[in-house]
Amino acid sequence: MTLKPSVVSGASPSGRSSGTRSGARIFSIQLTTNLHATPTVPIMRRGRSREQRHTRSFQNTLQAQKTSGGPEKKDLDILIAASKAERLAHLESQAMQALKYTVENYEHPVFTCALIAGDMVILELLHRMDYLSTGKVQVMFVDTFYLFGETIEFMRETEERYDFKANWFHAKEFNNKAELEAAHGVDFWKEDLKLYDSICKVEPYWRGLETLQADAVINGRRRDHGFDRAFLDLYEHESGADKINPLAYFTFEDVWDYIKAENVAYHPLHDKGYPSIGDAKDTVPVPKSRWFEYAGERLGRFNGLTNDDGSTKTECGIHFPQTEEENEDVEKVGSSDEKKGGGLTIEVM
């Protein structure tokens, strides 16, 4: 069984175009049964209703079952693949609609990019819709001075690949890690994590948005990141700048299915066991058997770190709840042991 895109007008043979696609692409799932014929089930990305697409694939499989004398595992595999293709098509359409709405209704949309897997999906869509090279969406990147060297190099490669220039921000009044630690001490984050977050993450983030005059912030947060993000919607109204979460309803598995189906470039550290990439000082590899658990993507982040109240650290401070209502929702969770979504303590040899 193979899953491959066929081309309809407006799409390139690779499944991409430099601008907005005017035509639909079709995922063709090659059915291999004990029949001599090998029918193809087209899963339209746009055009037919979801019910029509599902019915077509289901009917093909039923026909194969009648000839073979009953359902076989490979028939069910075909239906699973068809369902996944349909799901990805819907999620992609939903994400692109969110991005299109953002560009058409805000003057200064900004994508805050950290180059994690979901961010690369968003960059791929922004590029495909011609929002990067035209500057319709600005990309913001915060260099904490503690990032992996691979992250800095990969951002340079990504800028060239998608023909855009990111807006880089870092700790105010410092040009590099050496200057920062000369003022605050070597590895000062171990003694005062809140100060580190404030200087290296939170302040540059908000200064960046202010500099870019952001009235809409596109980001890669998803519901399956953990409880703190479990109730995300595609759109969040906030004072100053609304948040747009085009991948809100993706799962981490969906993200990787999409990356593979569309051949999207991804951070090289994923191949070394990192499901998510943050600071080199507290990000560790995670067994791949745990990547796709609920909140599994962020298990390797904030390794061994705790908040002032002793709870497991799951956020850097940028995406903390902003309203009293959101804070009440978080408090209802209970003890820190019930919260999940980051801060896994792993001994690194």
Q: Which residues are catalytic?
A: 316
| CA atoms within 13 A of residue 299's CA, in its CB half-sphere | 18
Query: Which is it for strands 138-142 and 167-169: parallel, antiparallel or unpaired?
Result: parallel
Cα–Cα distance measured from residue 238 to residue 106, given in angstroms and rounded to the nearest whole number: 14
Measure the CA–CA gap between 318 and 328, rounded to whole angstroms: 18
DSSP state of 188: G
What's at 275, amino acid-wise?
A: P
Enter the tokens of residue 280: 């080199």
Classify residue 306 by its DSSP letter. B
Which DSSP letter does residue 147 get? B
CA 145/CA 196 separation, integer angstroms: 11
CB atoms within 10 A of CB 22: 10
Pairing type for strands 138-142 and 26-30 reads unpaired
CA angle, 102 as apex, 101 and 108 as ends, to 5°? 150
Distance, CA of 151 to CA of 194 (rounded, Å): 23
Cβ neighbours, 10 Å, residue 229: 19
Question: How far, in Å, are 32, 68, 187, 301 from residue 37 at the CA level?
Answer: 8, 13, 65, 50
Count the Cβ atoms, other than its own, within 10 Å of residue 329.
Answer: 15
